[in-house]
Structure 1
């Protein structure tokens, strides 16, 4: 059971963790707001974080509302709370670098978010989504390190949230399901690709415009705090479509024009090289024919 805290009157943790050189990358701060539907003191914190989200936008502030001990709690949220040592709510963890407890710490939470925004990032995240059905999406993405960045090992999480859920303006980006937890070592200029399939619950599928996929990369634990979040990324609806292998002309449809380009480039080093082996050949033709008709109306 988690306690409700109206105000603790002191700062539990205020530590800045910065890895590597200061680079020119733009940061998306990840805020994890631990809350519950029954928690009265959580409401003002939720409203304040909602205002920050509206002010900064999803591209600068990736808010995750992590529920504990209520009817929308998921196992990942409980584990996350345990890792952070959350014993009272509201608790706000910002980039796994700052942690505040209590509804009278809102000003400090806001200041910490702004402080993290000013820290350059050398880690980049990009995601797209392929619709498999009205309630199923394959999220494809990359996590990369700038050529001038410092080698680092990151743990990658992909989180599906539902905005304004369960109800009320203070409930933003409720964590619904999570995949990932993979640790990857990135070299300068290196990149890691991932793909996860998410099957949405009925309420999420019925409210697609409020569904988001939030990806973040952080220093692996233990210890879990501080364990700096290097970068966050939010994909909102309508989701950027994933390229279809074989769609050579980029019109979203694998069809006759693509086949013509491939056959015209057969045996050459470019033009129809779908599999990236440096030659347009039988393997590329097989990929195209296997996807023929996809994306076409």
Structure 2
């Protein structure tokens, strides 16, 4: 939790896949997508992050404009009318709507989450020390055998929020990304580290924020921009993003005791 001192570390080989669940409290078919992601996470090493729609949003109070913007940039989603559900996997693949491309949503997500990250040998670590009611110091390190360039961010994640006014009848919402904060960059092979004092937004309710560290790989554009064909709201698609932040590779948090 954000109000506890913690130290976590992992080898690059043991890092989980990342699933971003673009959702909203009014979105009925988002429930099906969320349930499918939960099922996959029970069988694979995968962390789920719920990104609640905030831009042009009037009904869902759980979102954050900065978080929404970063999600749209990561998957090249710029249309104002763009709506959930969207499942983003490892910052590289996006599946829109609740209609599966294959046999089921579970098999679609599992296939994408199982794609190798090809990170090479190395390790990552994070130390978090709270310094105030909504502040703390983050210390991170990464040792890598490749020369990948990363943007390092902290994600503040609310474990659960109570919102009975949502029209999809969920009442409780989980894994909510409340804020994303830049804390450094990685530009060289070998050992890199950083330290940052941060202040973060409060939880929607209760005191259940978690601190996660993320490393986003910077990948240069290698193909010309292509304008995609228009798709129906529930049409699934896969796309390789043409954004700078193309791959989320680290999610570290203190597990429940």
Cα pair distance change 1:63/1:122, threshold 3 Å: farther
Work out which of the residue numbers 151, 160, 164 in structure 2 matches 1:164: 160
Scaled by the length of structure 2, the TM-score of the pair is 0.68
Cα pair distance change 1:114/1:237, threshold 3 Å: closer
Matched length: 206
Cα pair distance change 1:202/1:65, threshold 3 Å: closer
1:175-218 Cα shifts (integer Å, max 9, x gaps): 1111116432032x2222232424452645x333xx22221112
Shift of 1:55: 4.1
User: How far apart in 1 are the matches of 2:39 and 2:49?
Assistant: 14
Match of 1:30 in 2: 18
Q: Secondary structure at the match of 1:103?
A: coil
User: How far apart in 2 are the matches of 1:221 and 1:111?
Assistant: 23
- Answer yes or no: is 1:71 the counterpart of 2:71: no
Match of 1:99 in 2: 94
Root-mean-square deviation (CA), in Å?
3.0
> Which structure has the highest helix share of the two?
1
Structure 1 consecutive aligned stretches of length 4 or more whose deviation exceeds 6 Å? none
Match of 1:3 in 2: none
Shift of 1:94: 0.9
Structure 1: give runs of 5+ residues left out of the alignment: 1-22, 240-297
> Which structure has the highest strand share of the two?
2
User: How far apart in 1 are the matches of 2:16 and 2:114?
Assistant: 11
Judge conservation of contact 1:155–1:218 (CA < 8 Å) in 2.
yes
Structure 2: give runs of 5+ residues left out of the alignment: 1-10, 164-169, 222-239
Judge conservation of contact 1:66–1:73 (CA < 8 Å) in 2.
yes
Match of 1:207 in 2: 207
1:120-170 Cα shifts (integer Å, max 9, x gaps): 55453322221224x334142323123xx1112111111001123345488
